[in-house]
Structure 1
Amino acid sequence: MSIVKVVTDSTADIPKELVEELDITVVPLKVHFGEDMYEDGVDLTPEQFYDKLHQNNLMPSTSQPTPHQFEEVYKKLAQETNGAHILSIHLSSRLSGTYQSAHIASQELEGDIDITVVDSKKASYAIGIMVTEIARLAKEGADKRTCEQRLTELLSDTSVFFMVDTLEYLEKNGRIGKASAVLGSLLKIKPILSLNDEGEVYPFEKARGNKKALARIYKEIETRYGSSSVHVGISHAQAEDEANIIIEEIEKRMTTASSVITSIGPVIGAHVGPGTLSISVTKAE
């Protein structure tokens, strides 16, 4: 029985302790401040990134790994494990070319290494919540078929909701128009964002302020999952206190199999800005 090794990218925002515990391979995306380039989570931590963001007038840009980088990762894993099946799970292809780079690399190695590349159609810990579940199964000895079947369930069962503190970053990154950003800020409208079935960002609903926005998200989660046991992940951009409050509230309302709080890393942070909160939920087995 071939073992399974799990690969993802840095936009999954998985805490380092879980990456190490579950032996997950993380391929970093890049963040650019003018001429300076950093690898997400390698030589630029979330804390360092947000410090730079506050100190720098330049809007950062991001870029995906190259197919060659993925090839090197896949070759190294195959060599170290004597031919493990590689399950590579990545940021929504509608948000980045990362999945495409991984897919090209897998095609180059077709016939030599057994690789399945998956478009998560999610972002931040909505990817991580699935990746950690699959990596845990793999660590327990689950085979390729079992891991892929469970991933199929997770892809359909996982929900994510984002709240941004400011509309500035969404506007500058072309997600909303300037007029909408100015009007939303003046009216203190808190857009609740989500990802649709194609992996594109869309406005799930609008609320007047954080309290009403969170109440709407809690209600939607309860409607979707009912009495099911769930895994919950809260990712935040310099909003840890709020993240802790959200976890406590969800644990009061739902049966939680696990809960994780993690920082939104530099790549996702460059597109949503500080103060962002993201709630990811999926069904536990």
Structure 2
Amino acid sequence: MSQVFIVTDSTADIPDELVAKYQIHVVPLRVVFDQETYLDGIELSPATFYEKLGKAKVLPTTSQPSPVEFMNVYSQILNDHPGSQIVSIHLSSGMSGTYQSALLGKSMLEDEQTAEITVIDSKSASYGYGLLALHAAQLAQAGKNAEEIEAAVLKLHEQRKLYFLVDTLEYLQKGGRIGKASAVLGTLLNIKPVLSIDNEGIIYAVEKIRGQKKAMERIIQMFEQDFAGQRINIAVGHTANPASAETFISLIETRFELGEVVYPNIGAVIGSHVGFGTIAIFVWPA
């Protein structure tokens, strides 16, 4: 039986211990601060990134891996493990060229190798697809083949829900990632836009709520509509501020029976586009 290896990129924000446990291959994006370039998650941890962001006079920029970087990862896996397959899951093509780079990297290999690589556009960001990559890796360790894993990933993508709150839309606006949310005007009068990602992988505004506590309560109400009576898994991403994640968990655990609970750090690349004070909530059936 051929072994399946999972490849993703650093914007999946999968906790390091889970990357190691399930042997996930993570291709880093890059963050540029004042002409200095760092590999996301390798040369720049979330904590260090937010410290630098607080001192930066100019917002950092980001860039995707090159096709050659993906080609090298794919070829090394397939050469080291003949007969194996790869499932490669990446940041939404509506936000980044990372998925396209992965496709190009695949195309640079020999035909017999490209047949063993499945590249998936997650149409999501951060742990919104990190949980998909993790699920894929768990299935790979359980002996599932690439076709079974791809089907399971697409099914979970349809089941999981995500929302996020930002302190300010400044980072999204300047980074050009705000999409349909461009109609939301900042945080005047303490308005907190509840944002999500649509089926095309584009950020949009779900609602505008006054005050973060009310926004959290509204998100829980929406989860109750989607997962009524179900036991759920939840991940709460934060920008190097675990206390904000704990606050949300304490609210939701009074309304749901919780299974898996994950606290992913929102890393440097996603953090460059959402800024401080962001909370991202991901829920899927347990």
Q: Above 0.5 in TM-score?
A: yes
Correspondence 1:100 to 2:100: yes
**Mapped pair 1:147 → 2:130:** no
Secondary structure of 2:187's aligned partner: helix
1:16 aligns with 2:16: yes
> What is the deviation of 1:82?
1.9
Distance across 1 between alignment mates of 2:252 and 2:151: 27
Distance in 2 between the 1:14 and 1:20 partners? 10
Residues 144 and 184 of structure 1, relative CA distance in 2, 3 Å threshold: closer
1:189 aligns with 2:191: yes
Separation (CA, whole Å) in 2 of partners of 1:239 and 1:163: 14
What one-letter code is carried by the residue in structure 2 that aligns with 1:111?
A: E
Match of 2:172 among 164, 170, 173: 170
**Coordinate RMSD, CA, aligned:** 1.7
Deviation at 1:251? 2.9
Question: CA-to-partner distance for each residue in 1:205-232, whole Å, 9 max, x for gaps?
Answer: 1100101100110011111122233321
- Per the alignment, residue 48 of structure 1 pairs with 48
Structure 2: give runs of 5+ residues left out of the alignment.
Answer: none
Offset, 1:176? 7.5
Q: Could you tell me which runs of 5 or more consecutive residues in structure 1 were left unpaired when the two chains were aligned.
A: none
Q: In structure 2, how many angstroms separate the alpha carbons of the residues matched to 1:78 and 1:180?
A: 46
- Runs of at least 4 residues off by over 3 Å: none
Residues 1:88 and 2:88 aligned together = yes
SS in 2 for 1:154: helix
| Partner of residue 212, structure 1 | 214
* Residue from 237, 247, 255 that aligns with 1:253: 255
In the alignment, what sits opposite 2:135?
133
1:66 aligns with 2:66: yes
**2:265 paired residue among 249, 258, 263:** 263
Q: Deviations over 1:100-125 (max 9, x none)?
A: 00011112223224000000001011
Question: Using the alignment, how far apart are the partners of 2:173 and 2:100 within structure 1?
Answer: 26
Distance (Å, rounded) in 2 between the aligned partners of 1:17 and 1:73: 21
- The alignment partner of 1:275 has SS state of coil
Q: CA deviation digits over 1:147-193, x for unaligned, max 9? A: 1221120121121111001222123223389x977x53331100000
Confirm whether residue 38 of structure 1 aligns to residue 38 of structure 2. yes
Q: TM-score normalised to the size of structure 1? A: 0.94
Partner of 1:233: 235
AA in 2 matched with 1:141: G
Percent of residue pairs identical:
44
Partner-residue secondary structure (3-state), 1:112: helix
What is the one-letter code of the residue matched to 2:70? F
Q: 1:50 Cα deviation (Å)? A: 0.6
Q: CA offsets per residue over residues 242-261 of structure 1, 9 Å max, x none? A: 10121233233223331100
* Helix, strand or coil at the partner of 1:190: strand
Q: Single out whichever of 125-134 and 247-256 deviates more from structure 2.
A: 247-256
- TM-score, with length taken from structure 2: 0.94
SS at match of 2:254: helix
Q: Do structure 1's residue 111 and structure 2's residue 119 form an aligned pair?
A: no
TM-aligned CA deviation for residue 25 of structure 1: 0.5
Q: Is the 8 A contact 1:164 1:273 kept in 2?
A: yes
Change (3 A) 1:68 1:213: same
Q: Is the 8 A contact 1:164 1:190 kept in 2?
A: yes
2:186 is paired with a residue whose SS is helix
- Between stretches 2-11 and 145-154, larger displacement belongs to 145-154
- Following superposition, the deviation at residue 282 of structure 1 comes to 1.8
